[in-house]
């Protein structure tokens, strides 16, 4: 997909980015609590470079995720993965997972995959920006590092949402239901030398 963008064009668009201020987790009315979910991955450090295996340059499977306890009032969990550095108006959606059981504490490697009508426990997987279930990180060559922001929400109540939701339906459904949230950032780039120290420092949201 974006791997076909010429390096010169990616470099020319280096400053064209949706922006971290448009991530779902920072939108007004989404997170109204200070309760925090400790979200992490055994495959990469927060702010560190995503292993190639989880990108379009490798196997393209979704990475494993683990998290800590959530508030007792949480009835379910929901995850959205966005790229705020995409050269677009809004962040590119790489995954949506909906109706994760509240007592679940992990998603295994490759767990974000087509689920048909949903899994037996009620879990459902939504659409990425290109209609795929898990859209592997695929930044344009020369565009610089992209952050891939994993945002996990603990939800109270029973928000209604259509099967295989897109970003707009997801945001509308979780508004007013979030009782805790967690965030994890992985970075990936193409067409330039990788500086581990720089990659590991991209944890702040601009």
So what's the pLDDT on residue 130? Answer: 54
pTM of the model: 0.82
pLDDT-based confidence at 114, cuts 50/70/90? low
CB-count burial class (<10 Å; 0-12, 13-18, 19+) for 166: middle
Q: Catalogue the E-assigned strands of the chain.
A: 39-40, 65-67, 76-83, 92-101, 106-107, 124-125, 146-155, 178-188
Neighbours of 58 (CB within 10 A): 13
Higher-confidence residue: 6 or 174? 174
Q: What is the pLDDT of residues 150-198, one digit of tens each?
A: 999 999 987 777 667 778 888 999 999 999 999 999 999 986 665 444 4
Nearest residue to 118 via CA among 76, 61, 57: 76
Domains of the chain: 2-199 (3.90.280.10)
* pLDDT, tens digit, 9 for 90 and up, residues 47-77: 999 999 999 999 999 999 999 999 999 999 9
- By CB atoms closer than 10 A (0-12, 13-18, 19+), residue 124 is buried
């Amino acid at each position: 997909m974006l791997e076909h963008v010429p390096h010169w064009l990616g470099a020319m668009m280096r400053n064209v980015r949706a922006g971290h201020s448009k991530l779902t987790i920072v939108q007004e009315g989404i997170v109204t609590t200070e309760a925090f979910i400790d979200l992490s991955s055994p495959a990469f450090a927060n702010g560190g470079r995503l292993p190639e295996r989880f990108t379009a340059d490798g196997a393209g499977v979704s990475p494993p995720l683990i998290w800590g306890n959530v508030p007792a009032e949480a009835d379910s969990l929901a995850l959205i993965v966005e790229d705020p550095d995409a050269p677009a108006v809004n962040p590119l959606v790489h995954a949506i997972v909906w109706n994760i059981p509240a007592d679940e504490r992990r998603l295994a490697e490759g767990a974000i995959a087509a689920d048909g009508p949903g899994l037996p426990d009620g879990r459902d997987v939504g659409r990425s920006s290109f209609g795929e279930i898990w859209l592997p990180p695929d930044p344009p060559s020369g565009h610089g590092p992209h952050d891939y922001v994993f945002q996990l929400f603990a939800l109270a109540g029973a928000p209604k949402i259509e099967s295989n939701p897109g970003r707009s339906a997801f945001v509308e459904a979780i508004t007013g239901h979030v009782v805790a949230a967690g965030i994890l950032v992985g970075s990936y780039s193409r067409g330039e030398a990788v500086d581990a120290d720089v990659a590991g420092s991209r944890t702040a949201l601009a």
